[in-house]
Amino acid sequence: MDQKRIPSFFLHPGHLHAGLLHVGLALVMMLAVLPAHAGATGVRLMAFGDSLVHGYGLEEQETFPAQLEAALQERGHDVRVLNAGNSGDTTAAGLARLDWALVDDPDAILIVLGANDGLRGTDPAQTRSNLASLLQQLEERELPTLFTGMLAPRNMGPDYAAEFDALFPQLAAAHEVIFYPFFLEGVVAQPPLNQGDGIHPNAAGVAEIVKRILPSVEKLLAQVESADPREG
């Protein structure tokens, strides 16, 4: 190639380095000022909870958030389901990390907490207080919420079970959120749908949960769309 026809910019390595540096800095500055959702489409739904959300013992594509996202997209919803589950979380632990999780700026949230409280025999009054505080924070943020219920292990005794089971629908009514009564409906105590520990759903069990909870999730998405000023 005739060097006389090559722009002098490309003939001087120092100029090239400086030019690339300026371009890099410009890109960084552009990204810094873009809004969090720039380039993103659809609804960002956060599944927030314990190992039932996180996917204990499962492959990524088998987890509740992944299977829920796939099912919603198959039904024509433009949605991304964020996995904000943390195995072992009690309601106290979930409450403590809520602000940190919400940095991801979801458009709606699905709450799955309480199973570990029941397994540990946590005082239902404490579970109620933790979940009430969590729901209050979401209410103050005006974040559309789907709240799922849990049932106490029956070996905790009838009095404990009655108090524990009742707190979920009572909180849902008090905070006027969409409520799904029992997250593990149709899966609990069904060996083919659970892992060897008899507690955590396997991939087939998660699929059953997704199938059953889907109408409630679609109700949540409708709530998001009705509140979106871009709609209509």
Return the pLDDT at 41: 67
Residues 206 and 98 in one domain: yes
51 is catalytic: yes
Residues 25 and 94 in one domain: no
Q: Is pTM beyond 0.75 here?
A: yes
**Is 140 domain-assigned?**
yes
Return the pLDDT at 226: 85
159 is catalytic: no
Residue 66 CB: number of other CB atoms within 10 A? 20
Nearest one of 47, 24, 44 to 35, comparing CA atoms: 44
CATH of the domain at 147: 3.40.50.1110
Residues 146 and 219 in one domain: yes
**Is 95 domain-assigned?**
yes
Residues 19 and 91 in one domain: no
Residue 193 CB: number of other CB atoms within 10 A? 19
How many domains would you assign to the chain? Answer: 2
Residues 52 and 27 in one domain: no
Residues 18 and 91 in one domain: no
Residues 23 and 101 in one domain: no
Helix (H, G, I), strand (E, B) or coil at 10: helix
Give the residue numbers spanning the domain of 98: 43-227
Low-confidence ranges of the chain (pLDDT < 70): 1-41, 228-232
The Cα 173–Cα 176 span in angstroms is: 5
Judge residue 225's burial from the number of C-beta atoms within 10 Å of its C-beta, 0-12 exposed, 13-18 middle, 19 or more buried. middle
- pLDDT tens, 126-144? 999 999 999 999 999 999 9
CA angle 142, 145, 147 (to 5 degrees): 145
Residues 94 and 60 in one domain: yes
Q: What is the DSSP pairing of strand 178-180 with strand 43-49?
A: unpaired
Residues 153 and 91 in one domain: yes
- Marked catalytic residue, from 50, 51, 117, 165: 51
78 is catalytic: no
Residues 17 and 127 in one domain: no
**Is 59 domain-assigned?**
yes
The Cα 202–Cα 192 span in angstroms is: 8
Supply 72's token pair. Answer: 């919603």
Residues 99 and 171 in one domain: yes
Residues 23 and 126 in one domain: no
**Is 77 domain-assigned?**
yes
**Is 118 domain-assigned?**
yes
- Marked catalytic residue, from 2, 99, 159, 197: 197
- Marked catalytic residue, from 50, 117, 165, 200: 200
